[in-house]
Each structure stands twice: as structure tokens, then as C-alpha cells.
Amino acid sequence: MALDFPPFEPGTVWLVGAGPGDPGLVSLLAVHALEHADHVVHDALVDSRIVAMAHPGAVIESMGKRGGHASPRQGAINARLIELARAGKRVLRLKGGDPFVFGRGAEEALALAEADIRFRVVPGVTAGIGGLAYAGIPATARDCNSSLAFVTGHGQDGDVPDGFDWDGLARGAQVLVFYMALRQLDRVVERLLAAGRPADEPAAVVSKAATPQQSVLETTLGRLVEDLAAHPVDPPALLVVGGVAGLRRQLDWWSPA
Ligand code: SAH
């Protein structure tokens, strides 16, 4: 393939999205970065098959957040990226999904900018779009929604943000996609119902999307907590609320290889 890729310069950091799981969803620029990086710093969400695509001489380091588990502080990750770049390495910071969607990529890029280290961002397929697609749930469908909101179930302090305008959210977007929602799921559901979302609205919890362990719980907002207690799922998982979740009945196309 005669594509002109930008050179991966020593002393620079590439912040690269690895997508939700399936290695086939990794971009050509991400593959280029994997082939040329001296040092790969990946977070816990990145599929091991993708990390394994790195150049055999590359140093591989796992450094990332994982809800509920001990994980390095963000400051330590930023400092490590800066240290490696200053040592003249080609540093690949590999993150699950898209680096700029709830992935602390912005914080890392800001730290690099402040330290005067050149960086490039390679967007990835975010779980809230590509992961849902693997569950047969389109992000938008003409008959269902003309708006879509991505929401995090964790605030700065690791909790559902209390200062959040739940009424505004419930009215403001027809489809709501929650990242990191599992631990706070009952509170999220309670607040959405209190804010007027109907109990019979389709909802789904998509776990380990686009991986061989993908599982999907199809339910309604009113039954969600009870159904999930009966059929627990593993993180990482997304919660989607809105008409598009009901389309899975017809659009469930994917089955693990
Ligand atoms: N930057 C990532 C999101 C990081 S936040 C992205 O763009 O996708 C971590 C959250 O993302 C998880 O708690 C979960 O809600 C979601 N997530 C990431 N990968 C997932 C997957 N394969 N299946 C389901 N949810 C996933």
C-alpha cells in the first residue's frame, strides 16, 4: 500500500486509539505507530492482540486506569510519557477506544504540551459507537433519534456527578450512552426515571463489546436493575438508553469467531 505516513520522530509521543477490542478496527496510522514505536505505554483496556502487533524490539509497558483496581495516578503516567520522550524515544501511548473520549487523553496531551513535547493524536473507534455497532445497536437511526449524548457514570471523584443536570440530560438527547456506568447503574437509572424517561424505553448493557467475550443484556429502563441483578455482566460495559437499543432485535449481526 503506497500510503505516505508521517514519520514517527524520536522524542515525540503519539496518543493512539486502539478501538473497542477487535484488532481489525485499528487504524492504519495506529499500525504504523505500532511498527515504529520504541516504547509502547498501553492502558488496561487495550486488547492484548493489538499490543502484540508492536515491533518486536519495542518495550511494552502497561500503565492505565481500571475502575475498581489499583492503578497508577494520572500524574505518574504523564510524567512517564514526558520522561520517555525526553530520553529520545518514539513513545506510543495506546489507549482503548478513542484517546479523547473519557480516556484522559486530553490530560496527557495537555501535560505534553506544557512540557513542550511534540505529539500527534490518532483517533480510534470509540466504544460508544463501534462497540454498540457490534451489539447491533446503531448510534442513530432516522426513526429513533436526531441527538445522542455520551455521558460518564463517574465524576472527578469516581461517582455519578451529583451536580449533574439530570432533567436537562433526560430531555436533551433521545439516546444516552453511558460509559463507566456499571458501578453506579442503579443510581443512573433512578435519576433518569425521576427525570421523566419512560420505564418502557428500550435499554441495553453491552459488555466487552467487539471482543470474543461480548455479551449484551437487552431490557427496558424500568427492568434494567432487576434484569442485571439476574444476569450480571463484567466490565468494561456501556449502558445505552433509547429507541436504538430496541433495533438490536433485528440488527444483531455479530457473533464471536
Ligand atoms: N476511550 C475509551 C473510553 C475509556 S473509559 C473509548 O473511547 O471507548 C472506559 C469505559 O469505556 C468503560 O467503563 C466502558 O464503559 C467503555 N468501554 C471501553 N471499551 C469497551 C468495550 N470493549 N465494551 C464495552 N464498553 C467499553
Q: Summarize the confidence of residues 202-213 as an average pLDDT.
A: 97
Distance 239 CA to ligand 1 centre (A): 10
Enter the DSSP assignment of 156: T
Q: E strand or H helix at 46, and its extent?
A: none
Write the pLDDT tens digit of every residue in 54-69: 999 999 999 876 654 5
Q: Output 152-160 pairs: Cβ under 8 A, ≥24 positions apart.
A: 152/102, 152/178, 152/179, 152/180, 153/178, 153/179, 153/180, 153/181, 153/182, 153/183, 153/184, 153/185, 153/188, 153/239, 154/67, 154/180, 154/183, 154/184, 159/184, 160/184, 160/187, 160/188, 160/191
The pTM score is: 0.95
Residue 80 in this model has a pLDDT that exceeds 70:
yes
Average pLDDT, the chain: 93
Q: How far is the CA of 202 from the centre of ligand 1 (A)?
A: 21
Report the nearest-CA residue for atom 16 of ligand 1. Answer: 179
| Closest ligand 1 atom number to CA of residue 95 | 1
Catalytic residues: 43, 65, 180
The domain ranges of the chain are 13-125, 128-251
Whether 110 shows a pLDDT value over 60: the answer reads yes
123 in ligand 1 pocket by Cβ < 6 Å?
Answer: no
Q: Answer yes or no: is the C-beta of 179 below 6 A from any ligand 1 atom.
A: yes
Residue 134 beta carbon below 6 angstroms from any ligand 1 atom: no
Decide whether any atom of ligand 1 lies within 6 Å of the 153 Cβ.
no
Res 254 pLDDT > 60 = yes
Q: Report how far ligand 1's centroid is from the alpha carbon of 84 (Å).
A: 26
Is domain 128-251 classified as CATH 3.30.950.10?
A: yes
Q: What percent of the chain has pLDDT over 70?
A: 93
13-125 against 128-251: fold identical: no
Average pLDDT of span 155-174:
81
Assign residue 193 a region: left if phi > 0, alpha if psi is -120 to 50, beta otherwise? alpha
Check residue 153 and give its pLDDT. Answer: 82
Kindly give the distance from the C-alpha atom of residue 64 to the centroid of ligand 1, in angstroms, as a whole number. Answer: 13
For 41, phi then psi, to 5°, come to -115, 105
- The per-residue pLDDT for 255 is 77
By percentage, how much of the chain surpasses pLDDT 90?
Answer: 84
Fold of the domain spanning 13-125:
Cobalt-precorrin-4 Transmethylase; domain 1 (3.40.1010)
CA nearest neighbour of 236 among 38, 43, 13, 33: 43
90 CB near ligand 1 (under 6 Å) = no
